[in-house]
Structure 1
Amino acid sequence: MRQFARPSLGLLSRILAILLLTVIIEFGVSTLLYERASQFSVRDDEARRLAEHLVISRRLIAERPVAERLAMAAQLTTDRYLMRWEGRVTSPPPLATELAGMRRQIIAWEPALASADLRLQLTSPGRRSVVSGGLRLPDDSWVYFRTRTPIVGLNLTTERILQALAPAVALIVMGGLLMQRTLQPLRRLAAAAEQMGSGTSVHVEEEGPTDVVRVVRAFNTMQDRIHQLINDRTQGLFAVGHDMRTPLSRLKLRADAIPDTQVRHAIRGDIHEMEAMVGSLLAYLGGDDDPENPAHIDLAVTCATIADDAADNGATVIYNGPDHLEMVLRRSAIKRAITNLVDNSLHYGTRATLSIMVDDFWVYLNIDDDGPGIPADKTDLVIQPFVRLDPARQRDTKGFGLGLAIVADTVAREGGRLSLSNRPEGGLRAQIMLPRR
């Protein structure tokens, strides 16, 4: 029975839906805060204190004779409020519409001011505002007042800004969490792609938005095909290696029966070259499927052994370095890589020197020779597979030109890198950098 995927919104649709949701919520919260700010533009304690001072000042000034009202107004002046009385007023102070809410609030707390024709106006000496205005006395004279400290806008610059920012921050966090959940399949896909690059097969669950599910499904299919191709190639390599080594072994036996010593040695040399070609090709193409696991080895002893073996065969190879250096490496692979570099040095020069230097993070293994070196602009090219720099000498070279490529792959699998450089005194230096673990 075929199962159909549950219908799901695409990635773009989900992002648009999340943005729309955050905009709607932000609009609603901002509107609510704006309405509250317009209704309560002054802090409650400041408005109540002003109302109490006005009702007391109006009563005391109204009870005094006209000649004493100026003095009484001066006595009622405090560090918060400035009071002033005027007997004749040609025109009353204007009534500020933006302070209508504050006026209603003051009258609600002190109903005695309802008949005083309370007038309020706003002055702004900067970003913070003070309130001024007037009160009508029963004899139609006026008492003017002004706050000496700003009382309007204090909460708009501190508390209400924080209140306005709080929902925005909350929406950003909520949107980020939703986006993180939406993009989680893509992160799993990226992690699987990285593991796939190191040769590990990882099946990614097909979930999430429709677009992401299609990408994950295509990745899983591609991964299966790639691993199938690698498996087919590996099996083919094993078959080719077995089939070619068998006739080569028969040729060795038949070459031993040749009475002419010179011809026999020439034929055995050709057979050895064919074996080297087959071995290098199989090592390069089958490198990712090497079953060898890293183990503790003594790299210094390995290098010294390679130098001694070469010396036993009549070559001049010298080792300079510590007596012991424990590392975790693939024993056979790293030994084959160092041997390839030594053989390459002896092929183009007359002697080779192995040296090891160590710092806190890296181990530097240098193989120096006295050969002709490599042009500076070709040091990266020569590491590429199937590349030889001197076409005239290709037929004099064993293998397919895979020696340095195999070394580079082997060192990369150990987390290091291979570099080639010309020595100032002449010759080539091949340097292997391995991380200390």
Structure 2
Amino acid sequence: MFVLLAAVALVFVGSSVFYEAAETYTIDDAQLEQVGERLVIDARVLTATPTSQRMVLAAMLSTNDLTVDWRTPAQQGVMKVEPPSLRKLHDRMAGPLTALQGDALNLSGTIAATEDVRGTLRLPDGSYMGFLAPAILQPHHMRRGIVSAAILAGAVLLAAGMLVRALSMPLRALADVADTVGSGRWVPLENKGPREVRYLARAINDMQERINRLIADRTEALAAVSHDLRTPLARLRLRAGFLDDANAQKEIEADVTEMEAMIAGVLAYLSGEKDPEPARSANVASILATRVDDDADQGRDVTYDGPDQAQAVVRPLALKRVLGNLIDNAVNYGGNAHVSLTAGPEVLCIRVEDNGPGLPEAEIGRVTTPFYRVEGSRSRSTGGLGLGLAIVSREVERDGGRFHLYNRAHGGLCAEIVLPRNAVIRPAG
């Protein structure tokens, strides 16, 4: 579009400089030649007329495009020297006319950069004929050419902008849809635009439907398996109660407890993908303080530091789940958890810190991956299931916030959440 605009502007500027200038000079030469011929004729008429009648005759010979008058040598006075800047104009007016060549014609009265030609012609008897040819030097049309170029360039720019917008709208729609692939927020594309764009839209629609089916099948299968495992686990717990071996009974019950916790974690993660909880204005400070008090009542080393009031648009249950996962991680791996809240005019900053060993820098960016655990063991007491931080990252992102993990300078890990106070909640998926 801009290349086309530049080309149009260049063509019109070039035509203004060359073609219109050439046309101007052509018109000027024709008019000057005509004025020269009339001056020669008028000079002959005045020369053949008695001096007493020449002034009257000069007035009669005058027209709107050429005014002449007759002067005696005394009336003319001292002639001004014709400036060199008018020499070219002198030659163009004289042309092949012998009577106008040399110093007989004097254009010293012409003012540069004007349209009028003013001067005197010496007659054979020594008297002078003054003349004024108004508005015969046409001004160059550079300004008009530039204005014309600007008008046409504006029209081309408007038309090109509308054309580009019409062609790019389907592409922008494709980009928007591609950004929602697999998120559950997909809206089918309309089959409109150029043929290639329509083909691409149909391909993306088909791909999105397949992805949605795969995600739905995976979620339903995992949720069904996790839910159905509760029944045999309950039977195992019941049968373990009839064992005479106390150690075996204790180990079986511990394994069952671990499996139930793993199932609960999977169900919590999968249920979050279809979480229908609406966002509402809530006192985040109260939610944090209540959770910290509950943990402290259970004998856990958990403290809170922050204001008593901090309103924000959040999903309260999701926020409680996020906070619970972070506190559990801090207590399990760091021995304690310190929860702090900083309320700004636009955002809330929640930090959960511990005094543990922290995480290797290479692992910090990977621990939010579902089912990823830093430790290699499969023991719940050490490695967990690897879903806690994945749930935190997902829920915070849905609330329009940011989740960041980093090692503290004096030891320990800090989990930081930044939430907008007037968040636009993203749909689940």
After TM superposition, give the deviation of residue 202 of structure 1 in Å: 0.7
State yes or no: 1:55 paired with 2:66: yes
Match of 1:71 among 46, 68, 77: 77
After TM superposition, give the deviation of residue 163 of structure 1 in Å: 2.0
Q: Which has the larger radius of gyration?
A: 2
CA contact (8 A) 1:316 1:350 kept: yes
Amino acid at match of 1:236: A
After TM superposition, give the deviation of residue 338 of structure 1 in Å: 1.0
Aligned residues between the structures? 379
Match of 2:309 among 324, 329, 332: 324
Please say which of residues 353-362 and 30-39 is displaced more in the overlay: 30-39
Structure 1 CA distance, aligned partners of 2:136 and 2:367? 79
Q: Secondary structure at the match of 2:367?
A: helix
CA contact (8 A) 1:255 1:264 kept: yes
Q: Secondary structure at the match of 2:207?
A: helix
Please say which of residues 222-231 and 257-266 is displaced more in the overlay: 257-266
After TM superposition, give the deviation of residue 273 of structure 1 in Å: 1.3
Amino acid at match of 2:71: R
**1:135-174 alignment, distance < 5 Å:** 139=124, 153=139, 155-156=141-142, 158-174=143-159
CA contact (8 A) 1:364 1:431 kept: yes
Structure 2 CA distance, aligned partners of 1:259 and 1:324? 55
Partner of residue 180, structure 1: 165
Partner of residue 371, structure 1: 356
Partner of residue 95, structure 1: 92
Q: Secondary structure at the match of 2:411?
A: coil
Partner of residue 369, structure 2: 384
Partner of residue 416, structure 1: 401
Deviations 1:29-60 (A, max 9, x none): 9879976665557999xx99x9979832xx32
- Unaligned 5+ residue runs, structure 2? 36-61, 423-429
After TM superposition, give the deviation of residue 153 of structure 1 in Å: 4.7
Partner of residue 414, structure 2: 429
Structure 1 CA distance, aligned partners of 2:295 and 2:418? 23
CA contact (8 A) 1:273 1:398 kept: no
Structure 1 CA distance, aligned partners of 2:234 and 2:93? 110
- Unaligned 5+ residue runs, structure 1? 1-14, 75-81, 85-90, 101-112
Q: Structure 1 residues 358, 25: CA separation in 2 closer, same or farther (over 3 Å shift)?
A: closer
Q: Secondary structure at the match of 2:91?
A: coil
Q: Structure 1 residues 260, 20: CA separation in 2 closer, same or farther (over 3 Å shift)?
A: same
Q: Structure 1 residues 262, 323: CA separation in 2 closer, same or farther (over 3 Å shift)?
A: farther
Q: Structure 1 residues 146, 397: CA separation in 2 closer, same or farther (over 3 Å shift)?
A: farther
Q: Secondary structure at the match of 1:328?
A: strand
Please say which of residues 426-435 and 188-197 is displaced more in the overlay: 188-197
Q: What do you get for the CA RMSD once the two structures are aligned?
A: 4.7
After TM superposition, give the deviation of residue 347 of structure 1 in Å: 1.0
After TM superposition, give the deviation of residue 333 of structure 1 in Å: 2.0
CA contact (8 A) 1:116 1:137 kept: no
Match of 1:281 among 243, 246, 266: 266
Match of 1:341 among 302, 319, 326: 326
Query: So what's the TM-score if we normalise by structure 2?
Result: 0.71
CA contact (8 A) 1:43 1:155 kept: no
Structure 1 CA distance, aligned partners of 2:89 and 2:346? 86
CA contact (8 A) 1:366 1:430 kept: yes
After TM superposition, give the deviation of residue 284 of structure 1 in Å: 3.4
**1:241-280 alignment, distance < 5 Å:** 241-280=226-265
Q: Structure 1 residues 377, 254: CA separation in 2 closer, same or farther (over 3 Å shift)?
A: same
Structure 2 CA distance, aligned partners of 1:429 and 1:342? 11
Identical positions, percent: 35
Partner of residue 5, structure 1: none
Amino acid at match of 1:432: I
